Structure 1
Amino acid sequence: MFKRSFYYLWGSQTLSNTVDVLYIVALTTYVLKVTGSVVFATLVPFLRVASQLFSGLIAPLMISRYRLPFLLTLSQFGQFLLFVLLAGYLSPMFGGDELLPVYVLIVCISFLDGWTTPARNALVPRLVSDQALLKANGLIATTDQIVQFAGWAISGLLVATFGSFPVLVAVAVGYGFAMAITVLIEDPTEPKRRSLWDVRSGLALIPAVEVDEAGELNPAGISNPPSRWDTLKEGWVALWRSPRLRSLTLMDMTDMLGGSVWAGAFMLVFVNEVLLKDEQWWGYINASYFAGAVIGGILVVALVERLEKRIFPAMLLGMLGYAVLTVWFALNDFAPLTLLIVLVTGPFTELAAVSRRTLIQRSASPDLLPKVFSAQATLLNTVFGLSLLFMSGVAEWFGIVNMYLFAAAISMLAAGVGWLNRRAFASAESRNELSDAE
């Protein structure tokens, strides 16, 4: 079911995600302490997302040339070096207090991190059997949420106790260990490595192929080496031409448009204006949500055999359940009940997200999948950024409660998109039979 390399991937990515939370909290706290400005502190996540967006655009060029485990190793090694530089710059010995070098290093770190998620998601179906794919995604989603749940609470305590510099040193060490684990990953779809320096993908030596109408590679395609433009657009073409991938991406984008309402600023306004509580309750609600997400991931793993036969209905159920609970959340003003609503929201969110990811992984060939994930990540990052601005306007003009109701309607629309395109999911259970889905 699970190859040994899956456990290496799972462990290294869990460690990377853990120290990632530490570094975001440490740098945001540092910038806020130095400047006293929320705007400058907000630049930390903004620059991170912007750099990852650009990285995702050019990721196909790297993916077509190098093995996916090598790309993960390269990303972690580069981040390790950059965090050493960042920690050294902010150390008491050097005493750097200019923000420009900090922002430049954030951009570089985030750029390297931009191809990590597409590479990881594309590696998972290569390292587990198809029957175990849903379970593997559930396990990864559960640990991701545990990291988020515990990481944000513990990181704040660590930064408050020790300061930003020691935490950044710990982050650098964490990336070093993650890199050492990632080196052990073997991709079974690639020729066995002859040495540690055998990093070129075997796919880079194969003549270029065209993407057919189903989004699959067509061996009868062109025989000339692909241009850089052809490589960059291959994942985008697959998203458009494959009925299933197009439907899943449209659902993801629609859902992301409404999902931004759970960002910290919106939640804080809701807590203050509707629940009439202080920031402490904001923390309670966040903790309750992550706890629900962890429970959701565990349930997906526990019920994997039942869900496997009904993965498409399970995805729609998750999206509809999330939408209904968002309406209840918006209309409720009793704070303790809000904790319960948010807790129950977590399992529905995880059910929809894990099901969608599994369906995407089964909807493209192994060599095309990393480029599909890169293109989709670029789209979703763009939609999320635009959604933050759009939802800010909705909250300002129509009120915070109406903003959540509007977000719930968008989530219902996302489920409707899936239902209208159900024929794309009715056939072709294996990833290589997508050409029959129209």
Structure 2
Amino acid sequence: TVYRKKTVLLLTMMDMSEGLANAVWTSAVLLAFTKEVLNKGEAWWGFINAGYFLGAILGGILAVLFSNQLKQRLGLMIVLGSVSMGITTLLFAYSSNPLLSVTLCIMMGPLYQVRDVSQTVILQDTLTDEERAPVTAAKNTVLAAWSILTIAIMGALADLIGVRSVFIAAAVLYAGTAVAIFFVRDLRTYSQSARQQTKGEIEG
């Protein structure tokens, strides 16, 4: 239906926007930030990377523990997660304290995990059983190709405008995703219970 097509298109565009933002967390850009902004070496670069992965693990645990509450507010969780990612990324960009930078990375993990899980659930709910496998495969293929370009884009921008500026740009992209979702009422207010109640209407 038109509803499903619009939802898949919007979620894919969101993934592409945040995929560009996520490129700042690649090793090369983070290493440049650690050296140029924090004035630290490879050890702190490792701590920052470890902090993000620790946060991601914590986020996965939280998503499991609070899955019942999460599925009632999936759309809202995407908005809040993207806003929070934008704020923490902006704080990271202006941080000159390595310990604060590690702490912010730990905080980002749960925020992004909850946002990502919510978006994945909405996509799976929106598609029919027949559509789920091919659409997901096509979407992942597009995003995989896009990820190669995003790394090149953010790497080039880091050289042109400075590594701190690309983190600021990433924060704007995260916030932009939140704004886009906020103004799409069907996604902002999305919940699994509401989806089940109106399933027949949506799929018709």
Asked if TM exceeds 0.5, the reply is: yes
Question: Does 2:197 match 1:434?
Answer: no
Indicate the residue corresponding to 2:125 in structure 1: 362
For residues 432 and 281 of structure 1, the distance between their equivalents in structure 2, rounded to whole angstroms, comes to 53
Q: What's the secondary structure of 1:276's corresponding residue?
A: coil
8 Å Cα contact 2:181/2:188 also seen in 1:
no
TM-score by length of 2: 0.91
Unaligned runs of 5+ residues in structure 1 are 1-211, 216-241
Indicate the residue corresponding to 1:326 in structure 2: 89
Distance 1:408 1:425, change over 3 A: closer
8 Å Cα contact 2:86/2:174 also seen in 1:
yes
The Cα shift of 1:339 comes to 1.0
For residues 435 and 426 of structure 1, the distance between their equivalents in structure 2, rounded to whole angstroms, comes to 18
For residues 382 and 432 of structure 1, the distance between their equivalents in structure 2, rounded to whole angstroms, comes to 35
For residues 243 and 435 of structure 1, the distance between their equivalents in structure 2, rounded to whole angstroms, comes to 13
Indicate the residue corresponding to 2:2 in structure 1: 213
Indicate the residue corresponding to 2:17 in structure 1: 254
For residues 423 and 301 of structure 1, the distance between their equivalents in structure 2, rounded to whole angstroms, comes to 25
For residues 308 and 349 of structure 1, the distance between their equivalents in structure 2, rounded to whole angstroms, comes to 16
Q: Map residues 94-105 of structure 1 onto 2, 5 A cutoff.
A: none
For residues 200 and 10 of structure 2, the distance between their equivalents in structure 1, rounded to whole angstroms, comes to 17
For residues 358 and 394 of structure 1, the distance between their equivalents in structure 2, rounded to whole angstroms, comes to 33
For residues 423 and 335 of structure 1, the distance between their equivalents in structure 2, rounded to whole angstroms, comes to 41
Distance 1:382 1:434, change over 3 A: farther
Question: Does 2:30 match 1:272?
Answer: no
The Cα shift of 1:396 comes to 1.0
For residues 161 and 32 of structure 2, the distance between their equivalents in structure 1, rounded to whole angstroms, comes to 13
When Rg is computed on C-alpha atoms for both structures, the one with the higher figure is 1
The letter of the residue matching 2:21 is G
Distance 1:369 1:432, change over 3 A: farther
**RMSD of the alignment, in Å?**
1.7
The Cα shift of 1:263 comes to 0.5
The letter of the residue matching 1:336 is L
Distance 1:392 1:367, change over 3 A: same
The letter of the residue matching 1:313 is L
Indicate the residue corresponding to 1:297 in structure 2: 60
Please state which structure has a larger fraction of its residues in helix. Answer: 2
Question: Does 2:146 match 1:380?
Answer: no
The letter of the residue matching 1:329 is F
The Cα shift of 1:332 comes to 0.2
The Cα shift of 1:420 comes to 2.2
For residues 403 and 382 of structure 1, the distance between their equivalents in structure 2, rounded to whole angstroms, comes to 21
Q: Deviations over 1:112-168 (max 9, x none)?
A: xxxxxxxxxxxxxxxxxxxxxxxxxxxxxxxxxxxxxxxxxxxxxxxxxxxxxxxxx
8 Å Cα contact 1:327/1:405 also seen in 2:
yes
The Cα shift of 1:382 comes to 2.2
Unaligned runs of 5+ residues in structure 2 are none
Question: Does 2:105 match 1:316?
Answer: no
Greater relative contact order (Cα < 8 A, sep 6+): 2
Question: Does 2:188 match 1:422?
Answer: no
Q: Deviations over 1:1-47 (max 9, x none)?
A: xxxxxxxxxxxxxxxxxxxxxxxxxxxxxxxxxxxxxxxxxxxxxxx
Distance 1:425 1:271, change over 3 A: closer
Q: Deviations over 1:81-114 (max 9, x none)?
A: xxxxxxxxxxxxxxxxxxxxxxxxxxxxxxxxxx
8 Å Cα contact 1:294/1:346 also seen in 2:
yes
The Cα shift of 1:432 comes to 5.8
For residues 157 and 185 of structure 2, the distance between their equivalents in structure 1, rounded to whole angstroms, comes to 31
The Cα shift of 1:435 comes to 4.0
